[in-house]
Amino acid sequence: MDKVLEVKDLHVSFKTYGGEVKAVRGVTFDLHKGETLAIVGESGCGKSVTSQSIMRLIPEPPGKFDGGAIIYKDNDLTKLKESEMRKIRGSDISMIFQDPMTSLNPTLTIGDQLTEGILQHMKLSSEQAKKVAIDMLDLVGIPSPHVRLKQYPHQFSGGMRQRIVIAMALVCQPEVLIADEPTTALDVTIQAQILELFRDIQKKTGVSIILITHDLGVVAQVADRIAVMYAGKIVETGTRREIFYNPQHPYTKGLLNSVPRLDVDGADLIPIGGTPPDLFSPPAGCPFTARCPYAMEVCDKMYPYKTKLTSSHGVDCWLQDERAQKLLATK
Amino acid sequence: MALRKHQEPQTQSSIPDDWFVPIKKNESDAEAVVRPSLSYWQDAWRRLLKNKLAMMGLFFLSFLTFMAIFGPIISPHTVDYQDLVNQNLSPSSEHWFGTDELGRDVFTRTWYGARISLFVGIAAALIDFLIGVIYGGIAGYKGGRTDHYMMRVIEVLYGLPYLLVVILISVVMGPSLATIIFALTITGWIGMARIVRGQVLQIKNYEFVLASKTFGTKTGRIIRKNLLPNTMGPIIVQMTLSVPSAIFAEAFLSFLGLGIQAPLASWGSMASDALPVILSGDWWRLFFPAFFISLTMFSFNVLGDGLQDALDPKLRR
Amino acid sequence: MLGYLVKRIGSMAVTLLVIITLTFFLMHSIPGSPFNEERATSEAVQKNLESYYHLDEPLYVQYFLYLKSVATFDFGPSIKKSSQTVNEMLGRGFPVSFELGMVTLIVAIFSGILLGIIAALRHNGFIDYLAMTVAVLGISVPNFVMATLLIQQLAVTWEILPVATWTSPKHMILPTLALATGPMAIIARLTRASMLEVLTQDYIRTAKAKGLSPVKIVFKHALKNALLPVVTILGSLAASILTGTFVIEKIFAIPGMGKYFVESINQRDYPVIMGTTIFYSTVLIIMLFLVDLAYGILDPRIKLHKKEGK
Ligand SMILES: Nc1ncnc2c1ncn2[C@@H]1O[C@H](COP(=O)(O)OP(=O)(O)OP(=O)(O)O)[C@@H](O)[C@H]1O
Ligand code: SF4
Ligand SMILES: [Mg+2]
């Protein structure tokens, strides 16, 4: 399959009063053409930082890029000049942020906010740009778009605003769309509509999507592949089927157990106990050790090697070591 | 095996077998808090200490206060001794800040003026604080109609041009220290009242929330941890900033001839008395009082800014 | 919008009424003022006063009659300059003061905003510290001191600018500078703070994610939002400039209203104090109102809110 985007061993940290937060500690994944890759994980595990790093939107300071590569079309984005990066933002790779209520500028009409991206990246007159914007609003399901174009964000509901934000991200027909928790701030019915919209748009435009969420329900609906993130690392990747039906990492299993499922009896819903480790001084070994029911001595001492179970399924966990398998078998 | 922890085995197979045993968990480990947790006030204080400008302000204010107390004492001259032989002397070892047209010692008068200016500023700020807390407290606590009407009154007062009212009062009551402080506090308390009212409303909300969740035991903690920081921060900042604005207003009144009257002196009255003679070259008459007014303003402003940053719970990390 | 206007004008009227009432009764309560029994003024002045203030009527009648004349913009006679009325003084002084005030306001707004933006964009850099130090100094120096220093240096020592009066554009430079420093510093600080705040907002990140240039982000997305708080203080700034004109006009011998006002205070010319105070208050209240309207126009959220709240 064609890779459109490759993230290799990404490291990002933040300088704060309390010390240096190592938010992303060696994240590696790739994104294939036309697929939806979901990145899931608890709050604070570094999902947003990862996604904003791809766009180079981490504010520096306090943020700091500590190494790694982000390959897009044979270019390492981390090495581009800011002016070259600007050409990519919004046109090749675009992004949707978590909160539709705050991600639109309250003092500009949405028409203005939609067309400025078009005018920035495409050689179109403002009339043509307006037409593109109207078509886009139509595509995301905003009724009577030519009237709506003249309105301000506060005149729209939350769901509508998220549609507008999506339209804004799509106006320049990007190859990659990064959606950072696009539905978290919305209520459930609207959430479903927005996810539906994502699927529609992907079918129509073939855009590759990185969908960031901590909601496995959302993942189950739209993801082709899933990357599970924990404490600044990706601990397991696989296709949706692999992750949902054959999870290997205890953290993944924990996540799945803490999600209400309709196919299984809802009775034994077990949240993961404990809290993620402090990223000021992340543990040398597996960061899940303190919370992991299977934790072994080795887990505390060394970070596990990556084990490839299939060409698409990989996991960082000592349980994959045969000695651990024996230990499990004797139990 | 004699492998030490930080010498990691290089290959998977070289990892010793006995590492693959269930870990003995130390329960307290998991709960251990790695980051030192500071109380709100410690944290705020630490941040204030880091703010060089604010510390400079604090230093200057301490210096000015010290001199206001001891300056007139260490000076060999008295405030209003008129030495008609030694008029308009420029600064010398005898008269450190020179003398004025009546031969009075400017150094002594400057620090004497410091007492009055600082007194005016601090008294006005304190009275603003008192009235503000009472008014705002009642409005916020009673709520409903009372609050509505009390806020209406504030709205009307807020529309009044502050300095014009101060002028009017001073004209009517005749210039005196009491008049000035009274005039300055007539509308000065409004800002404080608004802040206090807002905070009281918030407290009521907290209590409501707490009561409804029967978290009774934690009320004290929540008030200490959340409410006091939120409440005290803006109040302290407001007070810090109302001192210099009172001092400024007093200087303005002095300029209009409505300020402190001779034989008393404030920085404002000294500076405005000095205005006519500045062009004749007697720079020291204006320089010293004006410099110290400015220094006070500067210090209070940077200290206020620093406090604002240090006390802002939002900025806490 | 209409409902809002009506309400707003209503509260303006109340404030004004409070000021007039306050002024009237305060002036009448002064022992030894021309409004009281023991009168110490000349025959001619006494006649003027009596006919304008109806001093032979009971106090409350006087009050209502005074309200009536104020409502028709008749502020009465002066008692020190028997041939003059307050209206005449205002007519002569106001245009000059207005000019000084407006020029100052414009200078302060533009330079303050510029300074604030530059400081915010160079946050924690050398320029930021420099700009903010200048701004704090600007706030810290009383305007009469500033004026004197400027005269001393630029007019007396270097002789590059005229010392006083208001006769040519060149004469306007020093007074404007002296008067504008404080407000400029306030605007610069506020602009910087609110710009920094706005720059952390989500919609700025959205704009960056669109690939817009920093210039566009600052001027199109950040500035308007950052200036909203600045607009809200323009009213009180206008007030401080207005009171500042008293000082500046006196120091620079500018024949504006402020100069008359200060003189009337020094001479205890009560009717002039009354008239001028009320006139100033009216001007300020109208300024505050205009600022509110401007805010409503700049911030689209406000308009709708008021419309809904009708
Ligand atoms: N600007 C910043 N300054 C300091 N620390 C930051 C900053 N941004 C993120 N972090 C830290 O980086 C870590 C990862 O944050 P991130 O926002 O990526 O989490 P997330 O996985 O997106 O969580 P959520 O689901 O809550 O959005 C957190 O510990 C956070 O405290
Ligand atoms: S490596 Fe160890 S601690 Fe980490 S998830 Fe696997 S078994 Fe649990
Ligand atoms: Mg996030």
C79 touches chain B (CB under 8 A): no
List chains touching A (3+ CB pairs under 8 A).
B, C
Q: Are strands A225-230 and A233-239 parallel, antiparallel or unpaired?
A: antiparallel
Residue A125 exposure: Cα atoms within 13 Å on the Cβ side: 2
Please give the backbone phi and psi of residue A265, each rounded to the nearest 5 degrees, phi first. Answer: -60, 130
Q: State the smallest CA–CA distance between residue B256 and chain C in angstroms.
A: 6
CA of B16: which chain A residue's CA is closest? A298
Question: Cβ(A19) to ligand 1 under 6 A?
Answer: no
> Model ipTM?
0.83
Instruction: Say if A291 falls within a structural domain.
Output: yes
Instruction: Say if A180 falls within a structural domain.
Output: no
Cα of A319 vs centre of ligand 3, distance in Å, is: 29
For helices C223-251 and C143-150, what crossing angle results, to 10°?
70
CA of A55: which chain C residue's CA is closest? C209
If one counts the domains in chain A, the total is 1
Domain range enclosing A248: 3-31+41-87+224-329
Whether residue B316 is predicted with pLDDT greater than 60 in this model: the reply is no
Q: Which residue, among A124, A210, B62, has the nearest Cα to A116 in the 3D structure? A: A124
Instruction: Say if C75 falls within a structural domain.
Output: no
Instruction: Say if C17 falls within a structural domain.
Output: no
Q: What is the pLDDT along chain C (310 residues), one digit of tens a residue?
A: 677 778 878 888 888 888 888 888 888 777 766 666 555 566 666 777 777 777 777 778 888 888 888 888 788 777 777 677 888 888 888 888 888 899 999 999 999 999 999 888 888 788 888 888 888 888 888 888 888 888 877 777 777 777 766 777 777 888 888 889 989 998 998 898 888 888 888 899 899 999 888 888 988 888 888 888 888 888 878 888 888 888 888 888 888 888 888 888 888 888 888 888 888 888 888 888 888 888 877 777 765 444 433 2
Question: Cβ(A20) to ligand 1 under 6 A?
Answer: no
B66 C-beta neighbours (distance < 10 Å), count: 12
Q: State the smallest CA–CA distance between residue C216 and chain A in angstroms.
A: 10
- Taking all residues of chain A, what is their mean pLDDT, rounded to a whole number? 84
If one counts the domains in chain C, the total is 1
Instruction: Say if C232 falls within a structural domain.
Output: yes
CA-proximal residue: ligand 1, atom 8 (nearest) = A49
- Which of B159, B163, B279 is the closest to C15 by Cβ? B159
Q: Please report which ligand is nearest the Cα atom of A27.
A: 1
Question: Cβ(A303) to ligand 2 under 6 A?
Answer: no
Could you give the percent of chain A with pLDDT greater than 70?
95
Report the C-alpha gap between A159 and A100 in whole angstroms.
Answer: 8
Domain range enclosing C289: 86-298
Instruction: Say if C68 falls within a structural domain.
Output: no
The pTM score is 0.81
CA B103 → CA B82, B85, B279, B286, C192, distances in Å? 5, 7, 19, 15, 47
Cα of A169 vs centre of ligand 1, distance in Å, is: 22
For residue A68, the domain's CATH number is 3.40.50.300
Whether residue B178 is predicted with pLDDT greater than 90 in this model: the reply is no
Instruction: Say if C35 falls within a structural domain.
Output: no
Report the C-alpha gap between B49 and B38 in whole angstroms.
Answer: 15
Instruction: Say if C37 falls within a structural domain.
Output: no
> Given its phi and psi angles, is residue B281 left (phi above 0), alpha (psi -120 to 50 degrees) or beta?
left
CA C234 → CA B263, C7, C179, C293, distances in Å? 39, 21, 15, 12
The answer to whether the Cβ–Cβ distance between B290 and C141 falls below 8 Å is yes
Instruction: Say if C122 falls within a structural domain.
Output: yes
Cβ–Cβ under 8 Å, residues A170 and A94: yes
Q: What is the mean pLDDT of residues B204-229?
A: 57
Cβ pairs A/C, distance under 8 A: 77
Cβ–Cβ under 8 Å, residues B31 and B46: no
pLDDT score for A122: 84
CB contacts, 8 Å: B172 with chain C: 26-27, 29-30
CA of A96: which chain C residue's CA is closest? C206
For residue C261, the domain's CATH number is 1.10.3720.10
Instruction: Say if A57 falls within a structural domain.
Output: yes
Whether residue A188 is predicted with pLDDT greater than 80 in this model: the reply is no
Instruction: Say if C64 falls within a structural domain.
Output: no
Which residues, 6 or more positions from A141, have their beta carbon under 8 angstroms from its beta carbon? A163, A193, A197
Which residue blocks in B143-264 are alpha helix, DSSP H? 144-159, 162-173, 177-188, 190-213, 219-222, 228-255
A94, β-bridge pairs: A177
